[in-house]
Structure 1
Amino acid sequence: MILGDHLTTAIDELHLAERPVMLHASLRSFGTAVDGGADALLDALLERGCTVMTPAFTEPQFGLSAPPDMRPARNGLDYAAPSERSTCQEGLPYRVDCGLINPRLGVLPAVLIRRDGAVRGRHPLNSFAAIGPQAAELIDAQSPDDVYGPIRELADRDGRILLVGVGLDRMTALHLAEQRSGRRLFRRWARDEDGDIRTVEVGSCSGGFTQLEPLLGPLAQSAVVGASRWRAYPARQVLAAATAAIAARQGITRCPDAECVLCRHAIAGGPVVS
């Protein structure tokens, strides 16, 4: 069994104490049970003075189909295809206290948003959540019109991106690098606080981010806990390196699916917006 001391040792090896940390984690990667589960990992980071931030996305719960008069070309969508949007909330507006999360994000973000002291962003589809001494400052950088503000704030505060048993295809920060490389973010739709339909920006496919491994791998510090490989990346340097690489060769982020419309449209520059 993985104990709290094992987690703390890895945190110290990676010099994460007192830093804001963007966390992407798979509890299954440990290969055995973690005593205390996701809470234990959060507690270990918080006890070392870290602020922990995770994605807290809600596309299935609050995403709407494209309105007929809001359909830009090259937007990562086939507007003629049947909609896969869930309407489980019947078009209700997103609230930061909704308690909902995309289940594909895994256990840890769902645990984080329910903890006392957690702060959550106002983006209706791609919010971030954080807990710890710098949580409010990180999350205040997000608005419905600035989806990746918390990642920018993380980099400005010399924060780290921590991958626990997952690969670069889970590194949400690389979507900000895509935007900085000159791509426009995709447009999606949700209801604002007044119930009106509004357009918001979201990221693209992340399946090809693993192709940045030769470039970003040398920036990481590594530790091993059980069967789980941890890698801690300096956010500022990752964003700079990835932005330059994508700007130089847009196709570097193409995923293995030759038919992926998200990749095709993102590489072409994103939506055509008048």
Structure 2
Amino acid sequence: MIPAEHLGKATDELLPPDRPVMLHASLRSFGAPVVGGADALLDALLASGRTVLVPSFTERHFELAAPAALRPARNGIDYATLPDATAPLPESAAYTVDCGLIGPGLGVLPAALIRRPEVVRGTHPLNSFAALGPLADTLISAQSPTDVYGPIRELAAHEGLILLVGVGLNRMTALHLAEQRSGRTLFRRWARGADGRVTMFEVGSCSEGFPRLEPTLHPYARSVAVGASRWRAYPARETLAAATAAIVADQGITRCPDSGCLACRDSIAGGPVDALP
């Protein structure tokens, strides 16, 4: 068993008080049960005035097929493989911040965070973020349909950190902001807005090539071990700057191992063309 005190000790070693932290974590990485589970880790991170930010994406629940009139080129999709563009879109509910849904691939930590009554969650129907703590409103209010990574920009502006708990750089969502800052246009996907209309929303690309940035980002990481779990904390502002510079120097550095990945191909080429929201 991993005692809760070990979580608190590691957190205090890596994360200054009163700072926001973006969390990506795997409880399985500990190699043994954590006393108190996901909530114990959240409590350790939230101590000392910190704010915790997590992705709370819901593509699986609310993404719609591409409407015929909203299909920008170079968008990481082969439209020819999609259903008849003239077919009507299915009726579906619009996303709401209190829907209680979250992508299953995000893990148990974000799911535990959005269950807390004090959570602040963004309105993006596909790639919302959620936060708890003193800066939660500030971080989340920075997001809009055409500024999906606003919360990460605010995290960096407030000298926040990115914490990887037993996961790799392919889970570091902030690197999509570095892609955008390198000059790429973000992909567009489709969902119903709050008014019920089908609209395009910004989303990220493939992240499986991000571990290729390891040599660039390694000097910025501070690490500890808790059980079998390796924790790495990165200063958000410096990490984004270094990653952006590396991508500007070599756009192909983010290419994933799949040579046929359309998302990587189109993102590296610059992203969607004529992708007005």
Distance 1:138 1:102 in 2: 21
* One-letter amino acid of the counterpart of residue 250, structure 1: Q
**1:211 equivalenced with 2:212 (yes/no):** yes
* One-letter amino acid of the counterpart of residue 69, structure 1: A
Please state how far the C-alpha of 1:17 moved relative to its aligned partner: 2.0
Distance 1:60 1:99 in 2: 13
Distance 2:117 2:184 in 1: 37
SS state of the match for residue 48, structure 1?
helix
Match of 1:86 in 2: none
1:236-272 per-residue CA deviation (whole Å, 9 max, x = no partner) reads 0011000011011000000000000000000000011
> Structure 1 stretch 113-122 or stretch 12-21: which is displaced more?
12-21
Please state how far the C-alpha of 1:45 moved relative to its aligned partner: 1.0
Quick check: 2:26–2:107 contact (8 Å CA) kept in 1?
yes
Distance 2:146 2:272 in 1: 16
Distance 1:46 1:273 in 2: 42
Please state how far the C-alpha of 1:90 moved relative to its aligned partner: 4.5
Match of 2:4 in 1: 4
Match of 1:53 in 2: 53
For structure 2, which runs of at least 5 residues remain unmatched after alignment?
84-89
Give aligned-pair identity as a percent: 70
SS state of the match for residue 217, structure 1?
helix
Match of 2:265 in 1: 264
Distance 2:216 2:114 in 1: 33
1:67-120 per-residue CA deviation (whole Å, 9 max, x = no partner) reads 01111111000112246xxxxx94211100110001111111011001021000
Match of 2:87 in 1: none
Aligned length: 269
Match of 2:185 in 1: 184
Please state how far the C-alpha of 1:133 moved relative to its aligned partner: 1.1
Match of 2:144 in 1: 143
1:192-240 per-residue CA deviation (whole Å, 9 max, x = no partner) reads 1110011111000000000000010110110110000000000000110
1:135-193 per-residue CA deviation (whole Å, 9 max, x = no partner) reads 11110111122100000000000000000000000000000000000000001111011
> Structure 1 stretch 7-16 or stretch 112-121: which is displaced more?
7-16
SS state of the match for residue 139, structure 2?
helix
SS state of the match for residue 205, structure 2?
coil
Quick check: 1:112–1:131 contact (8 Å CA) kept in 2?
yes
RMSD: 1.1
Distance 1:36 1:229 in 2: 19
SS state of the match for residue 80, structure 1?
helix
SS state of the match for residue 81, structure 2?
coil
Distance 2:47 2:267 in 1: 40
For structure 1, which runs of at least 5 residues remain unmatched after alignment?
84-88
Distance 2:131 2:195 in 1: 25
> Structure 2 length normalisation: TM-score?
0.95
4+ aligned runs moved over 4 Å, structure 1 = none
Match of 1:129 in 2: 130
